[in-house]
Amino acid sequence: MESSTIFAARKTIEQVEEGAELAPKFDEKGLIPAVTTDYKTGELLMHGYMNAAALAKTIETGQVHYFSRSRQAIWHKGATSGFVQTVRVLLIDDDQDCVWLRVDAAGGASCHVGYRSCFYRSVPFGDQVDTEPTSALELTFTETEKVFDPEEIYPGVPNPTKL
């Protein structure tokens, strides 16, 4: 499935915002952000990126394909770990520069660190913070147990996190 066929050229703001043609915008690196939530619970599982080919492949197969910025390659989520994400609903935003994937996540995990969601720590705010803090804010873990051991699931695979 060719992205040049299934994606329309962006011609007018009205077309993009109010029209029914899929006309996604890729940034200067050729990427569009992808927000992935659990279909049943609504939990945010991860935030990734897709290039045109990864979005076309996701549409074609119904399984989520991202573009890995660290490896600069299309990444079929779950190909290594088995934690495949099956699309239930795919949406695009007003100016068509972000997609929302509502998925069933196989194995109940989406995070390479081993947690269910990548968002396993909360940040204090408002009244929870001193008015004149003197050091970095302290995060609270919202998930306390890992679903899997990354060293078992990804043996020898470099950690994708960059400083």
Three-state DSSP class for 48? Answer: strand
Chain residues 32-61 in contact with a copy of itself, contact rule CB under 8 A: 33, 35, 37, 41-44, 46-47, 58-61
* Residue from 30, 79, 80, 141 in contact with a copy of itself (CB under 8 A): 141
Chain residues 64-83 in contact with a copy of itself, contact rule CB under 8 A: none
Chain residues 83-102 in contact with a copy of itself, contact rule CB under 8 A: 87, 89-95, 98-100
Q: Which residues contact 81 (CB under 8 A, 6 or more apart)?
A: 107, 109, 148, 153, 154
Total residues at interface with a copy of itself (CB under 8 A): 75
How far from chain centre, in Å, is Cα 149?
A: 21
Residue 133 φ/ψ region, left for φ over 0, alpha for ψ in the -120 to 50 degree band, beta for the rest:
beta
The separation between the first and the last C-alpha atoms of the chain, rounded to the nearest angstrom, is 36
Does position 148 interact with a copy of itself (CB under 8 A)? The reply is no
Does position 12 interact with a copy of itself (CB under 8 A)? The reply is yes
Q: Return d(Cα 103, Cα 108) in angstroms, integer.
A: 11
If the CB atoms of residues 73 and 129 are measured against a copy of itself, the closer one turns out to be 129
Q: Are 36 and 103 in contact (CB under 8 A)?
A: yes
Does position 151 interact with a copy of itself (CB under 8 A)? The reply is no
Q: Which residue has the tokens 């079929």?
A: 76
Q: Minimum distance from CB of 107 to a copy of itself (Å)?
A: 17
Q: Minimum distance from CB of 5 to a copy of itself (Å)?
A: 6
Q: Binding marks (x or -) toward a copy of itself, 109..138, rule CB under 8 A?
A: --xxx-x--xxxxxxxxxx-x-xxxxxxxx
Three-state DSSP class for 14? Answer: helix
